[in-house]
A and B are shown apart, each in its own frame.
Chain A
Amino acid sequence: MNIITIIDKLGLTQLSEIFNPEQEINGGYTSDLLSDVMGNASEGEVWITMQTHKNIIAVASLKELAAIIIVNNHKPEKDTIEAAEKEQIPLLGTNNGAFEISGEIYNLLK
């Protein structure tokens, strides 16, 4: 399923520019520990987290993740958004917590 469809179906907020609306999302990984994501997430997955600082972009970019969803209406720092646009990693937001949004994405993709 592509990123725009997921944004649409789940009512996600766009927090940074989306460069490729057709970007395929082939899974997800939910974690707030950067080394856990480094070790266990896979290319093309969406990362669900409450972390908002710039380092999440470096992790997503090195792992070639498809997008980051920031939960509980937390807002990314300004330099996080700048880094996201530079590295072309879409930052998305939701009012939901990690449990709900992970479940919804799981159901969409299964």
Chain B
Amino acid sequence: MHAQYEIQGGDFTKAGLASSEVKKMLKQLNLDPKIIKRIAVAMYEAEVNVVAHAYHGIMDIELNTEKIIIKVQDTGPGIADIDKAMEEGFSTASKEVREMGFGAGMGLPNIKKNADELILNSKINKGTEVKLVFYLNHQ
């Protein structure tokens, strides 16, 4: 199974739409609710990062009997220091974005906690790719 959703950078009115669609789809497939919960947190954070920090993104879902792979690829400024970005509380979000309750610097840490695997690739002035892997039979 394979599906793709678009994410518009800068448009907070649509933030979370792609994640909601994917979650509905996973629920229809009757996956373990615990895994769906972890996926929902991680993919929402990856989606919001495109909205808050990049220009445009694609969320790509690949599912087989063993695992779910969610790739969020964006065109955007990229991440200069990935280790720093992974730190809890680190954020470059604007004041307006923070006032909305985003930009707590907890997004990437939330992803790390909830995905079985997180692979982050980024090129300055090009964009970022976040790859999330969830194993279906994990404990």
Contacts and interface: CB of A to CB of B under 8 A. Distances in A.
A58 B107 contact: no
A36 B13 CA distance: 20
A79 interface: yes
A3 B20 CA distance: 24
A59 B113 contact: no
Given A32-B101, A51-B101, A58-B15, A39 B41 contact: yes
Contacts, number: 63
Interface string B63-104: 000000000000000000000000000000000000011101
A110 to B, nearest CB: 25
Which range contains the number of A residues in contact with the other chain? Answer: 20 to 34
Interface residues of B, number: 24
Given A51-B100, A59-B44, A35 B19 contact: no
A63 B131 CA distance: 21
Contacts of B110: 35, 38-39
Contact of A34 (B13, B17, B19, B101): B101
Interface string B116-127: 000000000000
Interface of A: 32-36, 38-39, 43, 49, 51, 53-56, 58-59, 61-63, 79
Given A35-B45, A39-B41, A61-B16, 8 more contacts: A35-B107, A38-B45, A39-B113, A55-B102, A58-B16, A62-B16, A62-B19, A79-B13
8 shortest interchain CB distances as A-B pairs: A58-B16, A35-B106, A33-B104, A62-B40, A34-B101, A39-B110, A35-B104, A51-B101
8 contacts: A33-B104, A39-B41, A49-B101, A53-B12, A54-B13, A55-B102, A56-B101, A58-B20
